Amino acid sequence: MRSKRMRRRLILRFASTISSKASTEIIEQPVVKKIKIEYTRVCGLQNIGNTCFLNSALQCVINTPQFNDSFLNDSIRNQIQPKHKYVALNYWNLLKKMRNQGQGGSENPQQLKQSLSNVCNKFRGGRQEDSQEFLRQLLTSLNEDLQRVTKPSPYRELQADIKKNTLQEISDNWWNYFKGRDDSLVQDYFTGQIINKVICQCNHQSIAFDNFQDLSLAFPSSSQCTLQQMIQYYLQQEVLSQYTCVCKSTRKAIKQQQIWRLPQILVFHLKRFYYMGNRKNKINTNVIYPTQLDMRQFINESNDKSCQQTKYELYGVVKHYGDLNFGHYFAECKHPFLQKWFVFNDSSVSNLSSINCDNSAYLLFYSKL
């Protein structure tokens, strides 16, 4: 019945087009519309042996808006490197299974885990690992398998002379240099840029630009704080008491980093785990994070075009409950097609009625509006 209705709509549309063309002398070129991909399945991931750290981060990537369209419409096949490590291929296969037209259930991430284990020994075996470290390795491996650069530009020392160039010109130079050596779909969505400054008492400025795929935020206090306070703490100035400057003197200096380019997908890593001697401890501070975040207040000098739109929407959270010996990861994600929030606890999936900000948030995923 559906196919008959669709055929009838197409016939009527075609007849309408013919009629309109006959009544006017101007024939416009047909408009090619991008097909919107929609998959409604909500799917869990099986725990195959202490893999909640993997499942939680993976669910957030799986539910990243727009990033997965190239996988779902199969155009990704033309981007996979001939000498790939099977990470992008296995991610693609898993994603297609999780987004098929079935209902509920769960899928097994074994093949993806195996391909990542072949790349990084850390993820072999059945140990509980860190979710943020897995996320970084996943994005790194996807980036390598989907690498567009076949002949990297020659290595050279990058210059940052503010007497000869503006900061934006220096930023563009550094950005384009790295794009000439490393470029992929992952870079398109997850990579931003920060500027690092060291200002000596003699007024000389040392400048460098670095790319990032997540921002690791320390806690400003042991009491409850907001995500905005943590970002401000990350960007605050630091006084260096013993800085050796080009003026050949050891003086005080001010060190500061600023966000220069905003990525499409902005990931925050809340640094809950730390070492005290040989022991790894956890910070259980409550963090209040907004569903919508405007980064404008954190952009100081940049006039990069990526900072023209600074508003983001929360779509994924990796949470960690318990301590380091008996802890558990799970994810809360907004389904990109259903636009509804769900709790992804390994194989179990349930509706999420409201966002609960507590002391468990570990990774926050924001998409630019």
Which residues have a catalytic role annotated? 52, 328
Q: Which residue has the tokens 């259903």?
A: 338
Instruction: Count the Cβ atoms, other than its own, within 10 Å of residue 79.
Output: 16
Q: Are 341 and 206 in contact (CB under 8 A)?
A: no
> Which residue from 310, 332, 313 is spatially nearest to 321, judged by alpha carbons?
332
Question: What DSSP designation does 100 have?
Answer: S
CA atoms within 13 A of residue 181's CA, in its CB half-sphere: 10
Cβ-contact 42, 331 below 8 angstroms: no
d(CA 290, CA 228): 9
In degrees rounded to 5, what are phi and psi of residue 94?
A: -65, -45
Contacts of 20 (CB under 8 A, 6+ apart): none
Q: What is the DSSP string of 47-69?
A: -SSS-HHHHHHHHHHHT-TTTTH
| 147 Cβ contact partners less than 8 Å away, ≥ 6 residues apart | 81, 182, 183, 184
What are the backbone angles phi and psi of residue 245, rounded to the nearest 5°? -95, 170
Bridge partner residues of 195 (DSSP): 209, 258
| Maximum Cα–Cα distance across the chain | 82
Pairing of strands 250-261, 348-351: unpaired
Distance, in Å, from the CA atom of 35 to the CA atom of 237, rounded to the nearest integer, reads: 47
**Residue 231 in 3-state DSSP?**
helix
